[in-house]
Every structure is written in C-alpha cells, then in structure tokens.
Amino acid sequence: QVQLVESGGGLVQAGGSLRLSCAASGSIFSTNTMGWYRQAPGKQREWVAHIRTTGSTNYADSVKGRFTISRDNARNTVFLQMNSLKPEDTAIYYCAALKFPPVWGQGTQVTVSS
C-alpha cells in the first residue's frame, strides 16, 4: 500500500522559511505528478503547487515567487521550500500523489506568527 508521510512543519515568524518533505513508499514518484495542498482553519483545501514527472512545475498565484516545489525520484521524496512566509500561509499542508484515485498524506502543520 502506497503511503505518503510529510514532515518539516512547525512554527515560524513572518518572513521566515520552512522546508517540507514528503516521503513515499513504493514507486509512486516515478509515474505520477506530485502536489502540495493546504487547508486553513474554516477553509477548504486548496492547491499550492505540483510537479510533473518531467520536472515541470506550477504554482498558485498566492505562493508564486516564494515557494519552490522539487522532487528527488531516487529518494521517493518531494519537497516544498517555503520562503518569505506570511501569517496567511498558516495551514495544514498535505502532500498528494495525483493519480486516480489520489493518494494523500496525513498532513503537517505550518504556523506563521505575525
């Protein structure tokens, strides 16, 4: 069974940085686009970024220029480097393998204080 495990969340001051990691079991990385999503309290889950098997990336406008998604297929790991963090980035961040049906991680909390 494929599993995704996120790590790297925490509490950071506005303007700071965090790097999230998502480790996958199995060979899911080699054949699937991987994505990061987030869900703030009282809000719906929203897409943050994704990276295809080719390495091409897309970002939500709210994080463009501040966040960078990358993948290491040899380590079955996808990363999200988050810089210039803002309080509105506070959310639970989820990693996902964008296959049908999608596979989700359990999430990691990111809290940005003002």
For residue range 23-51, what is the model confidence (pLDDT) as tens digits? 997 677 778 899 999 999 999 999 999 99
Residues forming a β-bridge with 4: 24
Percentage, residues of the chain above pLDDT 70? 97
The two tokens of residue 8 are 């790297």
- DSSP symbol at 99: S
Q: Which of 21-30, 63-72, 75-84, 104-113 has the lowest mean pLDDT?
A: 21-30
Residues forming a β-bridge with 24: 4
Please answer whether residues 5 and 23 qualify as being in contact, where contact means their C-beta atoms are separated by less than 8 angstroms. yes
For residue range 45-59, what is the model confidence (pLDDT) as tens digits? 999 999 999 999 999
Residue 30, pLDDT score: 75
Please tell me the distance from the alpha carbon of residue 63 to that of residue 110, in angstroms, as a whole number. 14
Instruction: Find the distance separating the first CA and the last CA of the chain, reported in whole Å.
Output: 40
